[in-house]
Amino acid sequence: MLANAHIIVEGLVQGVGFRWFVARKAEALGLKGFVKNLYDGNVELEAEGERSLVEELIGQVKVGPRSAQVNNLRIEWREPQHRTAHFEIR
């Protein structure tokens, strides 16, 4: 079953390799979407693919790279968008 998760990651998540970490994990899982920094210091990401794989990515995002500190995830499940053919850093 395909799923799409729109996620805002709050915490110390900029300047610590967080976007690269997410992109690498998402690509390894075969997910599509994007990750980008927001002006308020948070990170936004959208992941699309098999729901179980999206949930696996969410579990990895909760931990993040060693230098990050994830305080909260705001997750919104959406209908698959089919907007991108791969996962990208914006």
Q: Name residues whose C-beta falls within 8 Å of residue 47's C-beta, 6 or more positions apart in sequence.
A: 4, 5, 7, 26, 31, 32, 33, 54, 57, 58, 87
**Which residue in this structure is represented by tokens 């996620």?**
7
Let me know if 37 is a catalytic residue: yes
Let me know if 19 is a catalytic residue: yes
Percentage with pLDDT > 70 across the chain: 100
pLDDT, residue 5, reads 97
Using 50, 70 and 90 to split pLDDT, how confident is the model at 85?
Answer: confident
Could you give the domains of the chain?
A: 2-89 (3.30.70.100)
Number of other residues whose CB lies within 10 A of the CB of residue 55: 13
Mean pLDDT of the chain: 95
pTM comes to 0.93
Catalytic residue among 19, 24, 78, 83: 19
pLDDT, residue 51, reads 96
**Total residues belonging to the chain:** 90
Catalytic residue among 37, 71, 72, 83: 37
Span 30-70, pLDDT tens digits: 999 999 999 999 999 999 999 999 999 999 999 999 999 99
Strand 87-89 and strand 32-37: pairing?
parallel
